[in-house]
Homo-oligomer: A and B are copies of this chain.
Amino acid sequence: MQENVALSAVPIQLSGIFESVRDPGAGGIDIFLGTTRKTSGGKEVIALEYEAYEPMALQKFHELAAEASGKWRLRKVTIVHRTGRVAVGDISVAIAVAAVHRAEAFEACRWLIDGLKKYAPIWKKELYRDGSEWVDGFTG
């Protein structure tokens, strides 16, 4: 299994995500994209700001990819998360999985985003016209 994990301070390019998992032995690729929502609790969000404990976040991405690879027959896994300011509607996280069979790509991808949300030390702040607020992770 080939793994790519990264934090990115610049917009995530989908073509690069696809190229990183493209594999002539894969039966299917599943890509999960998290995008930022325009409203939160009735408030209009104008942008988001992501903060990460970078070395630990990268280590968690690596651990998640390695554990997934023990559960399913994966060819390639890519996990990229944004840091810094992210515009509404832009990609905050991309998880791509190329697997021997498509069912495994779907299962692994879903397990990875669930694990990332639980364990990766990353935080999101919503910016409003009149202030800002750290998002309570329990509502994710």
Residues of A within 8 A of B (CB): 14-15, 18, 22-35, 37-39, 88-89, 98, 102-103, 105-106, 109-110, 113
Distance (whole angstroms) from the CB of A18 to the closest CB of chain B: 5
- Give the number of times this chain occurs in the complex, counting copies: 2
Distance (whole angstroms) from the CB of A29 to the closest CB of chain B: 4
With contacts A15-B14, A24-B89, A102-B113 taken as known, whether A31 is within 8 angstroms of B31 at the C-beta atoms is: yes
With contacts A30-B30, A30-B31, A30-B32 taken as known, whether A22 is within 8 angstroms of B89 at the C-beta atoms is: yes
In the complex, the answer to whether A33 meets B18 with C-beta atoms within 8 Å is yes
Task: Report how far A25 CA is from B24 CA in the complex, Å.
Answer: 35
In the complex, the answer to whether B31 meets A35 with C-beta atoms within 8 Å is no
Distance (whole angstroms) from the CB of A66 to the closest CB of chain B: 22
Other than the given A22-B35, A24-B39, 15 more pairs (CB < 8 A) read: A18-B33, A24-B37, A24-B88, A24-B89, A25-B39, A28-B32, A28-B35, A30-B30, A30-B32, A31-B31, A34-B102, A102-B110, A103-B110, A106-B106, A106-B109
